[in-house]
Amino acid sequence: RFAYVNGRYVRHADAAVHIDDRGFLFADAVYEVCQIRHGFIVDLTRHLDRLDRSLGEIRIRPPMPRAALVGIMKEVLRRNRVSDGMVYLQVTRGTARRDHVFPSPEVRASLVVTAKSLSASVAAEKYASGIKAVTVPDNRWERVDIKTVGLLPNVLARQQAKEAGAQEAIFVDAEGNVTEGGATNLWIVDKAGRLVTRPADRAILRGITRTTLMDVAAKLGIAVEERRFSVAEMLEAREVFVTGATTICLPVVAIDGHAIANGHPGLTAQKLRDAFFAVAE
């Protein structure tokens, strides 16, 4: 395997950043994960637009023009022979002697790009069985709309889920409303049969898969309602599913030990997933 690190393609085993890299020291960095499907980067423009927004929100200058970045992503995919899988990219504020304030004079941003293949059969098994989840208090900062690598709360939540025999953690805000998953956005089909997800305020990441799924729903004639919903409403829902770049649209069949509906994946999630790649770009 190969990775791109600050201007070089290196063997994955040797790929490293400096100990003074601000991504390492402060999580002073943003990232993107894109799905690769049949050799194409799914929703590339939307991912790059969000990267630009994340960089702008934390005031990191883009490391290079977009076309050059795309060239590197494609080269990493080619060198790793990935045609179905994912590409990861991370931009940090760069390397400088440890000091909380931005380096002055400004240093060059660091860029790391990696890629890996993902098994379609493993994904198919998950879609068929659905996953379990647990709820956890959302103790993250107030700007989780920025896709930063500061993911410690997400790491701890997902570990808690794993130790409870589940595959995703569902964050719940102080009002008892669901925000999102540990690495996914969350959707329900409510008791009235409406497809519902939380509005993309600063309390969730505006997922690219979430945005594209709205296009998919529109194409299928399924109305989407953006509103907050409680844990109680989620547990009573007809369906619950999560969306993200690597999972697309994955049913949740049990939460905190309660079965959702009949405990099997729902039809809406399946319809949306089946139509997804005809709509995604």
Q: How far is the CB of 43 from ligand PDD (least distance, A)?
A: 8
By the 8 A CB rule, do 62 and 55 touch?
A: yes
Angle in degrees, 0-180, between the axes of helices 44-57 and 208-219, rounded to the nearest 10: 140
**Interface with ligand PDD (CB under 6 A), residue from 42, 48, 69, 183:** 183
Dist CA 24 CA 41 (whole Å): 27
Under rule CB under 6 A, residue 208 binds ligand PDD: yes
Q: Which residues pair with 230 in a beta bridge?
A: 177
| C-alpha dist (Å) from residue 7 to 68, 110, 144 | 11, 9, 29
Under rule CB under 6 A, residue 117 binds ligand PDD: no
Under rule CB under 6 A, residue 184 binds ligand PDD: yes
Under rule CB under 6 A, residue 234 binds ligand PDD: no
Under rule CB under 6 A, residue 244 binds ligand PDD: yes
Per-residue burial over 117-144, b = 16 or more CB atoms within 10 Å of its CB, e = otherwise: eeeeeebeeebeebbbbbbbebebeeeb
Number of residues binding to ligand PDD, judged by CB under 6 A: 15
Under rule CB under 6 A, residue 85 binds ligand PDD: no
Q: Looking at 61-69, 127-135, 194-202, 206-214, which segment touches ligand PDD (CB under 6 A)? A: 206-214
Tell me which amino acid residue 128 is. A
Under rule CB under 6 A, residue 63 binds ligand PDD: no
Which class for 98: exposed (0-12), middle (13-18), buried (19 or more C-beta within 10 A)? Answer: exposed
Q: How far is the CB of 281 from ligand PDD (least distance, A)?
A: 14
Under rule CB under 6 A, residue 95 binds ligand PDD: no
**Interface with ligand PDD (CB under 6 A), residue from 237, 245, 253, 275:** 245
Residues with active-site annotation: 147
Under rule CB under 6 A, residue 210 binds ligand PDD: yes
Q: How far is the CB of 162 from ligand PDD (least distance, A)?
A: 15
Residues 25-54 that bind ligand PDD (CB under 6 A): 33
Q: Looking at 17-25, 216-224, 231-239, 243-251, which segment touches ligand PDD (CB under 6 A)? A: 243-251
Under rule CB under 6 A, residue 185 binds ligand PDD: yes
Q: By C-beta, is 138 or 239 nearer to ligand PDD?
A: 138
Under rule CB under 6 A, residue 207 binds ligand PDD: yes
H-only helix segments in 179-237:
208-219, 231-235
Q: By C-beta, is 70 or 151 nearer to ligand PDD?
A: 151
What are the E-state strand segments in the chain?
Answer: 2-5, 8-11, 29-37, 40-41, 85-92, 110-117, 131-137, 168-172, 178-181, 185-189, 195-197, 224-226, 239-244, 248-255, 258-259
Under rule CB under 6 A, residue 200 binds ligand PDD: no
| C-alpha dist (Å) from residue 96 to 23, 60, 105, 109, 149 | 11, 14, 10, 10, 18
Q: Which residues are at the interface with ligand PDD (CB under 6 A)?
A: 33, 154, 180, 183-185, 205, 207-210, 243-246
